[in-house]
A and B are shown apart, each in its own frame.
Chain A
Amino acid sequence: MPFRMNGFVSGHDFSRAENHAQNGRALAPARRLGITFWIKTAQALCLAIAVCFSVGATDSSSRYNDLSHRLMCTCSCAQILGECNHVGCPNSAGELAELRAGIQAGQSDKEILDSFVGKYGAIVLAAPTTHGFDLVAWIAPFAVFAAALLGTILLVRRWANISIGKTQAATPAPDNEDPADRERREKIRRETGEGGF
């Protein structure tokens, strides 16, 4: 049975849809078996993943490595602090020492990052923060993507409606059609029209 994500079946597909609807009851057990198979497969897969996930997790942390990759070297080399490789770099050794000291003093990540920002300015952070105007940097890409995705889906659905309308207009129902057939067609159209995948 041809289907479309937008849920409409064209007039051209009507007779096949109708036949399929009539055969639906006969195919039901086989289909049920198929669905059961896929559910079982999905369950097995989830179980396998869960087992793999639960093996080998550790709870020690490497905050030094993580934080050094969230900070920039301030010598204007435009490198991540943890990756700055200049021997004789005037800044990176001092910054790394400050970072180590902060961790050893038991400061939280936020306290350490705040102290760096206080000393070197916001430019020392390798990425914008998640508050104030900086939050816009994080939200905008996903907002634009979501809006574009939604817009595209709506546009495609509209186009599909236009296409179907054209097809239906091109193939009008015969005048001597049985009202029962017409009603059945409308019913199928209504049902498949809301269906989706």
Chain B
Amino acid sequence: MAAFGSFALLIALALAAYNLLAGAMALRLIATGQPVAISPERLADTARRAGIAGFLAVTAAAFALIWSVFTNDFSITYIMEHSNRALPGAYKFSALWSGQEGSLLLWAWLLAAYGFVLRLTHKTDVKLYAYAGTILAGIQTFFLAVLTIAAPPFALYNGVIPDDGNGLNPLLQYPEMVIHPPMLYLGYVGFSVPFAFALGALMMRYPGEKWIKITRVWTMVTWLFLTAGIFLGMHWAYAVLGWGGYWGWDPVENASFMPWLTGTAFLHSVMMQEKKGMMKSWNVWLIFSTFLLTLLGTLLTRAGLVSSVHAFAQSSIGTWFVVFMGIVLAVCIFTYILQRSHLKAEHHLESLVSRESSFLFNNLVLLTACFVILWGTLFPILSEYVVGNKVTVGAPWYNRVAIPIGLFLLFLTGVGPLLPWRATSFKSIRRNFVIPTIALWATVIVCLALGVRPWKDGAFDYGNFFALVAFSISIGVFTAIMSEFLRGAGVISRQTGKNLIVSTWLLTRRNTRRYGGYIIHIGVVIVVIGLAGAAFNRNIEKELALHDTMSIGPYTLECVGFTQDSNLNYNSEYALLDVSKGGKKQFQMTPEKRVYLASEQPQTMVAIHSTLPWDLYVVYEGTNPDTGQPIIKAFLNPLVGWIWAGLVVLVLGTLFALVPPLSPATASLRIPASRPIPTEPALKGGH
């Protein structure tokens, strides 16, 4: 199977290279109109077909690797290092992305799959798709070259083939690890498609903004995958790493967050280009940057430039990525300089207070956030280079620098949709902002009265202060969004006589993009409320003998037993804890500690009882070597469940925004002929 896999990869590389060269040649011939023996259109079509065949070849290689994992073919080094016989089936599947070579193969396969769909739908716009397909082939050629030369997944093991493998990293033996990396990679790889369309459209001086409409679905789906991937990673960190948190500003977490920020900026500013013909250069560079940041993330993970908890898959392929990023950047700059006259804006902003400028400021803040994270991630390297002294840039730095920027962004989330296009007036500001402002300040007062105060033990407390600001702005933004829904629904209700709920549904269906976007904003608000809860985390650690108790918040934990278990994959020891509240037993928790046999590495399995107000999070830390007593650490983490609930709303909003709006025929309302439809902003459409 190793030979089959390697051969499939070689075929895929040859097909991708042909796709790139033939495609580029055909497009050049079409552009110059030179007469040649072969029709450029036919040449371009052979390139496209090579791309389709390339997908089949990469699929064959991926299949070969998975087959080898399931058949325990330890003659392949990768399988020997990342799997073992006792590994459960689902985790054998995830062995595909548990190491350097496998994850690059997954990347190549996903890219081939995206390209396959793109090439099958080429009739939408044959020429533009030919450009995009050729650019994707260039990216694919790079990844397949790395897989063939620098990181071959089918390399054979030197020496006596062992009976069993080293096993999968215990950190990865968790259900979410089966879906978190593919989601993240779907997001990373997916941004190659809008990048290819943007670069292609610029190269061919594509008239109009149709390319943006074509790539809108690609971009949103990709953004959705990346969002889901990031949140799944957060949940994995929360449930597996056992430190009670979900985001540690680890360089690899940061690397996934940066393209998300620029991708989010692109999704917003691209609306300006669609509606007003503005910010064309800006949008092109946003998508270029997003793609480059996905590569930078991979570079940071793979090259070992920065220390990370995610260093499962480090190797020396960093140079390949640096060179490729250099080439991509050079191509982008060259194309931009050559074609920049094509990107002249048709209109300019007319006012600092308008929907357009709110998009611009939103972009500004998102890009500043991206810069801050990049700066924090790379500063240790910079410091070592400049003063020879490596420093740590950890959570305290990010909390002070990134959180204020994030809160400002949240504020703009509420303000932006309330501003009309072009310019606004005092009257409209007063009408739109009074209720959200009252809600915001009322929340400040309620929070202060409830004890959420920006000081603790006589000193200023940043955590509480940020929580107070986050809660207040969140409620203000939520009120602003709901008032937008109600205003639009009220108009429809008056016209149709339907109740507000049905009217809201109709309103949302008539402009899924705008109101889907609002639902996404509500999701963001819920997530922020959840994140702000971290300011009030509590924890307690105690050695617990049999029937000893410990209390945290309203809960009392009583130890009712300790036991051990084992299977072919791991040995485990765990505590049985009865949890009572108000003197009544509520449920039992079983925090666990495992030692995996193949790798001989320990792993914590946290017990979590999640409710809307808080999570009870219990870690079995092992036994005290001096006393022999087990040690239990319990956390009470307020509002964590809101983060995951916010993700659900966010996903629903994105899906809603992807649904085509009701067509005019089906959206027809029972409006009396004598009554003209008022031109309320809510009915004009457009987010």
Per the bound structure, the CA–CA distance linking A83 and B357 in Å amounts to 42
In the complex, residue of chain B having the shortest beta-carbon distance to the beta carbon of A9: B423
Q: What 1/0 mask marks residues of chain B from 307 to 323 whose CB sits below 8 Å from any chain A CB?
A: 11100000000000000
B368 close to chain A: CB less than 8 A: yes
Residues of B within 8 A of A99 (CB): none
Question: Given A48-B445, A87-B622, A128-B379, are A159 and B348 neighbors across the interface (CB < 8 Å)?
Answer: yes
A53–B448 contact, CB under 8 A? yes
Which B residues are CB-close (under 8 A) to A127?
392-394, 396-397, 400
Q: Determine whether the beta carbon of A52 is less than 8 Å from that of B248.
A: no
Is there a chain B Cβ closer than 8 Å to A70's Cβ?
yes
Closest B residue to A57 by beta carbon equals B455
Question: Which of the candidate stretches A129-137, A174-182, A183-191 sits at the interface with the other chain?
Answer: A129-137
**Is A21 part of the contact surface with B, judged by Cβ < 8 Å?**
no
State whether the Cβ of A162 lies closer than 8 Å to any Cβ in chain B: yes
Smallest CB gap from B426: residue in A: A3
Contact call B396/A69, Cβ cutoff below 8 A: yes
When the two chains form their complex, are residues B386 and A72 in contact, meaning their CB atoms are under 8 A apart?
no
> How many A residues touch B, CB cutoff 8 Å?
64
Please provide the chain A residues from 116 to 174 with a CB less than 8 Å away from any CB of chain B in the complex. Answer: 121-128, 132-134, 137-138, 140-142, 144-145, 148-149, 152-153, 156-157, 159-160, 162-164
Give every chain B residue within 8 A of A49 (Cβ-Cβ): 444-445, 448
B566 contacts A by Cβ under 8 Å: no
A49-B448, A79-B243, A137-B393 as given contacts; A61 in contact with B351, CB under 8 Å: no
Q: What residues on A are CB-neighbors of B631 within 8 Å?
A: 87
Min CB distance B1 to A, Å, is 38
A140 to B393 Cα, complex, angstroms: 14
Which of B376, B401, B423, B455 has most A Cβ within 10 Å?
Answer: B423
* Nearest A residue (CB) for B309: A78
B353: chain A residues at CB < 8 Å are 4-5, 197
Q: A80 within 8 Å of B by Cβ?
A: yes
Interface membership of B449, Cβ < 8 A: yes
Complex interface bits, A1-42 against B, C-beta within 8 A gives 1, otherwise 0? 111111000100000000000000000000000000000000
Given A70-B396, A137-B379, A157:B391 Cβ within 8 A: no
Contact pick for B397, options A61, A88, A128, A133, CB 8 Å:
A128
Q: Is the CB of A78 within 8 A of B425?
A: no
Give Cα distance in the complex from A75 to B601, angstroms.
16
CB < 8 Å neighbour of B391 from A123, A141, A144:
A123
Q: What would 12 more interface pairs be, CB under 8 Å, given A5-B351, A125-B392, A127-B396?
A: A80-B394, A85-B619, A86-B621, A87-B621, A87-B623, A88-B625, A127-B397, A128-B391, A138-B400, A156-B360, A160-B351, A160-B352
What are 15 sample pairs from A and B whose C-beta atoms fall under 8 A apart? Answer: A4-B350, A10-B350, A52-B445, A52-B448, A66-B459, A78-B250, A78-B308, A87-B621, A123-B391, A125-B391, A137-B397, A145-B405, A148-B368, A149-B364, A156-B351
Contact residues of B with A, CB < 8 Å?
242-245, 248, 250, 307-309, 347-353, 357, 360-361, 364, 367-368, 371-372, 375-376, 379, 383, 386-387, 389-397, 400-401, 405, 423-426, 441, 444-445, 448-449, 451, 453, 455-459, 619, 621-625, 631, 633
Q: A: which residues have CB within 8 A of B?
A: 1-6, 10, 45, 48-49, 52-53, 56-62, 66, 69-70, 72, 76-80, 83-88, 121-128, 132-134, 137-138, 140-142, 144-145, 148-149, 152-153, 156-157, 159-160, 162-164, 197
